[in-house]
Amino acid sequence: MVLNVNNLTPAALGEAARFFEANGYVQLAGLEKSVAPAFKQSLGETLEMSPDQLERLLDPEAEAAIFEKAVRQKLSRIVTSPQLSQSLIRDLSSLLTAFIGPIVHVSGTYHGQFKGGALPEASKDIAHYHNETAADFMEVHGAYRTHQDFTGASLPTSPSGLTLWVALNSCPESTLRIYPGSHRVGMFCHKMWKADDPRMALLAPPIEIAAQVGTGVLFNALLFHGTGKVGTRRRVSCDLRFFQLCGFLPSDVHFLSNRPKDVLQRQRREAAGPTMLAPVLEQLAFLGEDVSADAPALSPLNWVNYIVQLMHGEPDAALPHLLRFINTDLLEDPPTVFTQKFHNRPLQIDRLRAVNDRATA
């Protein structure tokens, strides 16, 4: 399904939400008017390039080269400026509200990627992941192995977070490889998988999405994804994350509605399924509402129940809910890799109180 961001009618958003519930992603069109230019401006400022210089760099057929380490370091974590954050919130407000709710964090940094071209031979093979050269920030150029964004993080955020992947040029190579429906099988990826991992057979076959100017992909933080095989042409993209109100994050939030609790209660009644319901209930829990969910094993609603118990000050009671969210059939490590990383991390209680006061004012 392709959702045009310039036509975000209730009917279109409803259809997209149902597709997202089942597949964990939705393709976007219409980004050439606002979203892509905002990223291009930020990217040009980061690289200290004029618009004309940047356009030449975006040419997929132009002679490619490995950027210097200092440049790669900048591109691996570009600071999300207030101007970029406000621009994205303005243009995507109704989309973000529909998918994760009316109170939103914008990631403080994002990634700029220049995949393909004149890479070291080993980096051209998707079986070679950038971690082998991560100290040199070669992930800017090399292929990503398949992974889940949420489980790969060093600190907890939310499995219902969103990644916005935006193409800045058109290139048939270095596709975004995604595994539809993989967001519905829990947390399973502590270490990124190689392309020939036999566990791939347990997931639905992947699809490849090529970069096209004006297009992008919005996908769930548990969706299994990576890079298609790198070729000789350069694919340029940016990716940035959004989170609904999250008690682990110290960052400021954006209110997308004057009556956020009313919006959340309506979304609670109308959610298409557990994927769409989880961020709503998680947000209500952080706002002090006493919510609970009937959560089958591996459902993101287990994370909701985990958060509820943490908000009650009961970490021991929370832990079983976290364990029910871990897919031990696919995880090659013991479940403790996730409990040690995520369990009982401190919550930003004072910030949550301030947000709740504002939400009820």
Tell me: do 216 and 282 sit in the same domain.
no
- What pLDDT, on a 0 to 100 scale, did the predictor assign at position 118? 61
Tell me: do 185 and 88 sit in the same domain.
yes
Overall average pLDDT of the 121-142 stretch? 58
Residue 124 has pLDDT above 60, yes or no: no
- What pLDDT, on a 0 to 100 scale, did the predictor assign at position 137? 81
Overall average pLDDT of the 52-78 stretch? 90
Residue 316 has pLDDT above 50, yes or no: yes
Instruction: Tell me which residue range forms the domain holding 346.
Output: 273-360
59 to 23, 53, 55, 62, 233: CA distances (angstroms): 32, 10, 7, 5, 9
Q: Cα–Cα distance between 218 and 204 in angstroms, integer?
A: 19
Q: How does residue 240 score in pLDDT terms, banded at 50, 70 and 90?
A: very high
| Residue 90 forms part of a structural domain | yes
Residue from 298, 292, 356, 304 nearest 327 by CA:
298
- What pLDDT, on a 0 to 100 scale, did the predictor assign at position 121? 56
- What pLDDT, on a 0 to 100 scale, did the predictor assign at position 65? 74
Residue whose structure tokens are 């401190």: 346
Overall average pLDDT of the 199-206 stretch? 94
Residue 109 has pLDDT above 60, yes or no: yes
Q: In the Cβ-directed half-sphere of 191, how many Cα atoms lie within 13 Å?
A: 13
Overall average pLDDT of the 129-141 stretch? 63
Overall average pLDDT of the 145-160 stretch? 93
| Residue 252 forms part of a structural domain | no
| Residue 92 forms part of a structural domain | yes
Overall average pLDDT of the 295-315 stretch? 97
| Residue 237 forms part of a structural domain | yes
Contacts of 34 (CB under 8 A, 6+ apart): 87, 91
Lookup: tokens for 249: 């994050």
Helices 10-23 and 274-286 sit at what angle, rounded to 10 degrees? 100
| Residue 88 forms part of a structural domain | yes
Tell me: do 232 and 289 sit in the same domain.
no
Tell me: do 84 and 28 sit in the same domain.
yes
Q: How does residue 135 score in pLDDT terms, banded at 50, 70 and 90?
A: low
- Positions of E strands within the chain: 2-4, 25-29, 78-79, 103-106, 109-115, 162-167, 171-178, 207-211, 216-220, 225-227, 235-244, 254-255
- What pLDDT, on a 0 to 100 scale, did the predictor assign at position 134? 55
Give the model confidence (pLDDT) of 14-27 as tens digits: 999 999 999 999 99
| Residue 128 forms part of a structural domain | yes
| Residue 268 forms part of a structural domain | no
Q: How many domains does the chain have?
A: 2
Overall average pLDDT of the 218-247 stretch? 94
Residue 191 has pLDDT above 50, yes or no: yes
| 150-154, 296-300, 305-309, range with the lowest pLDDT | 150-154
- What pLDDT, on a 0 to 100 scale, did the predictor assign at position 292? 86
- What pLDDT, on a 0 to 100 scale, did the predictor assign at position 119? 60
Tell me: do 238 and 302 sit in the same domain.
no
Instruction: Please report, for the chain, how many H helices and E strands are present, in that order.
Output: 12, 12
Tell me: do 313 and 356 sit in the same domain.
yes
Tell me: do 232 and 284 sit in the same domain.
no
Tell me: do 141 and 226 sit in the same domain.
yes
Residue whose structure tokens are 């292929």: 143
DSSP 58-70: H-TTSPP-PPPHH
Contacts of 311 (CB under 8 A, 6+ apart): 247, 285, 286, 288, 347
Residue 141 has pLDDT above 90, yes or no: no
- What pLDDT, on a 0 to 100 scale, did the predictor assign at position 138? 79
Q: What is the DSSP code (8-state) at residue 357?
A: H
- What pLDDT, on a 0 to 100 scale, did the predictor assign at position 142? 81
Q: What is the DSSP code (8-state) at residue 326?
A: B
Tell me: do 235 and 321 sit in the same domain.
no
Residue 182 has pLDDT above 70, yes or no: yes
Query: Which CATH number goes with the domain that contains 41?
Result: 2.60.120.620
Lookup: tokens for 217: 């992909």
- What pLDDT, on a 0 to 100 scale, did the predictor assign at position 48? 95
CA 328 to chain centre: 23
Tell me: do 147 and 33 sit in the same domain.
yes
Amino acid residing at 274: P
Tell me: do 238 and 288 sit in the same domain.
no
Tell me: do 218 and 343 sit in the same domain.
no
Phi-psi region of 141 (alpha: psi -120 to 50; beta: other; left: phi over 0): alpha
Q: Cα–Cα distance between 7 and 16 in angstroms, integer?
A: 12
